[in-house]
Structure 1
Amino acid sequence: MKKPKTSADYQREYRKRLRDQGLVKKEVWIHPNHARILSQYEQVFRNPLITSGKTCNTQLKEIEVSMNKKNTWTTHSLFEALLETEMVSSNQASIKLEESTKATIHMVLHSMGDLPVYVTVAGEQILAESLLWPQDMVNDVVAFNDEVLVTHKIFPLSTISLDTLPTGERYYTMFGALSAFSSLFDVVFEIELLADNVIKAADAYSKFLPSQMMVEV
């Protein structure tokens, strides 16, 4: 039986195809906010049909115009927009902006048993996350980690990670990520779906947790 390819195999093949096209790798250092623009510039510079500086400049100008027409969320602008959503105005959720080392939107979803969800915008990514439970509460960490890797796909658009809090305590966290160019509708959908997945995860992995445990946040 042929051994299945790994992500490393695909990466090697991808890089070989690029080299075969006569492309070379150049390392650049940029601010995270410009990653999307750089990606589009890269596609222009890969095009073998662009042979003149004038043609290249035209392509780059079109990218700049396109990017300027799009609204990118910041944590502060997203907070102001979420204040106007039905979720908040109907008291299904309350929301506040926490300013520390980085601005974070702290939401409490009353419709989900007062489940806290934290939302931040970093560069071109919006991250929504909610704490599940501390690692030391899991009765068999190795078995649990294996179970998560096998089953995490049952929670659409959400992923489970293991994070260390500022207190030094290790917590399992469920999170979802989407583009900072996403519509407000998509952001609200991601938040609501994440909250639903957190509740389902507590039930799905209950055999690894103390009996009668509620989702701890």
Structure 2
Amino acid sequence: MREQGLVKKEVWIRPEHAKRLSVIEKQLRKSSVSTWVNTGDVVMGNANESMTVWTTGSLYEALLNKPLFSEGLASVELIDGVEPSLLVVMKEYGDLPVFVTVAGEQIIAESVLWSKDEVTDVAGFNDAVLRTHKYFPLSTISLDAMPDGQDYYHMFGALSATSLLDNIVFEIEVLATNVIQATEAYGEFLASPVDS
């Protein structure tokens, strides 16, 4: 190890964090840290680089300057509340709404697909989703209760709250593409025909 230029450091941690420390130790053995190592409120990357953990408000401000939004391909609105979120309207995708929320250590980007009541064969649809959702990169499908008391299928993707801004924009774009493809792929299970 010394011949590789590494130095030995002794650390004291709680036993339940041993696996996490092992992962971080392996990352720090590389000559350049290619992944972000979380050290609290600030995330350290390559030498002397740092990034603050995103909040919904800081993410909103940063997204305004990205070409997707500054060139009018999408719009973003900050929705204040107990848990603030962002409403992204993807204009290239028929004004598809995507909601983005920073919750603790993760960022969730999600879009409503349709209500459970619109599915003609719920068991068949659920089986099809479980067998095929892996074909939609970076996204998955969930069934969630909404305030109106109905269950709705959502497609979502999750990232670390320390993700690079370009990766967050990429996640939003991929999610929009996946929603359109899922609507086409699962249209046979819906009561109303889906326009392609």
**Does the alignment reach a TM-score above 0.5?**
yes
**1:101: Cα distance to partner?**
2.2
TM-score normalized by structure 2? 0.76
Matched, 1:192 2:173: yes
Per-residue deviation at 1:65?
A: 9.9
Q: Which has the higher helix share?
A: 1
The equivalent residue for 2:21 is 43
Which protein has the bigger strand share?
A: 2
- 1:121 pairs, out of 90, 94, 102, with 102
Distance 1:71 1:40, change over 3 A: farther
Q: What residue number does 1:35 align with?
A: none
Aligned residues: 163
Q: Which residues of structure 1 form unaligned runs of 5+?
A: 1-23, 27-38, 48-62
1:86 Cα deviation after fit: 0.6
Q: 1:72 to 1:141 in 2, by over 3 A?
A: same
Superposition deviation, residue 211 in structure 1: 4.0
Percent of aligned pairs with the same residue?
A: 50
Aligned to 2:80: 99
Match of 1:59 in 2: none
TM-superposed CA distance for 1:64, in Å, is 6.2
Measure how far apart 1:100 and its partner are: 1.9
* Correspondence list, 1:76-115, <5 A: 76-115=57-96
TM-score w.r.t. length of structure 1: 0.69
Per-residue displacement from partner, 1:18-71 (whole Å, max 9, x unpaired)? xxxxxx966xxxxxxxxxxxx589627xx9xxxxxxxxxxxxxxx569746332
Secondary structure in structure 1 of the residue aligned to 2:78: strand
* Deviations 1:84-140, CA, capped at 9 Å, x for gaps: 111111111111100122100001000110000000001110100000000000000
What is the alpha-carbon distance in structure 1 between the residues aligned to residue 105 and residue 85 of structure 2?
Answer: 15
Alignment match, 1:158: 139
Q: Give the superposed CA RMSD.
A: 2.5
Give 1:146's aligned residue.
127
